[in-house]
Amino acid sequence: MRSHGSALVLEDSAPMRTMLCELLRTLKIEDVEAVASLGEAKAHLDYLTYDVALIDVGLGEENGLDLVRSIRRDRTHPARSMPFIVVSGQNLRGIVAAARDAGANAFVAKPVSAGALCQRVRAALEAQPQFVESETYFGPDRRRRIDPTYRGPERRQGNADDALYI
């Protein structure tokens, strides 16, 4: 994998924050910044650009999905198209679906395995998915394959790269 410049980690647990940062560095991400609160992450993302962000869902009274959702919905936000990978100790279908619906590129369940995190980060950095915008959603195109049998009214035209979207 080629070197990527930077990543932001939003995680309220100091040991988990350290582990996530170290894993990102093994992926040749040269500049990794870590913050513990939603406010700090928002301040960073409002003024700095990153190649990827790891966002924890449960932050005490705060929810990392609110940050992802607000950035994706803000048409002028500089981080709107940046890859977001959601990390959570809850891997229930509802949380995974909420991360997807907020516009996250990927989801990783805690306890985080190095292999799973590395796979998701690589995919998010290398896939460069198209983004979809509607009244209620802005985020990566969630199609994993083209269904040639679908003939519905909102069928999008695809290309050979459609199978690569995460």
Q: Where are the domains of the chain?
A: 4-164
Residue 125: pLDDT band (50, 70, 90) is confident
Q: Is the dihedral of CA 133, 140, 93, 84 positive or negative?
A: negative
What is the CATH code for 4-164? 3.40.50.2300
What number of residues does the chain have?
166
Closest CA to 144 of 121, 116, 166, 125: 166
pTM above 0.75, yes or no: yes
| pLDDT score of 97 more than 60 | yes
Cα separation, 49 vs 51, in Å, equals 7
Where does the pLDDT of residue 130 fall: very low under 50, low under 70, confident under 90, or very high at 90 and above? confident
Contacts of 23 (CB under 8 A, 6+ apart): 112, 114, 117, 118
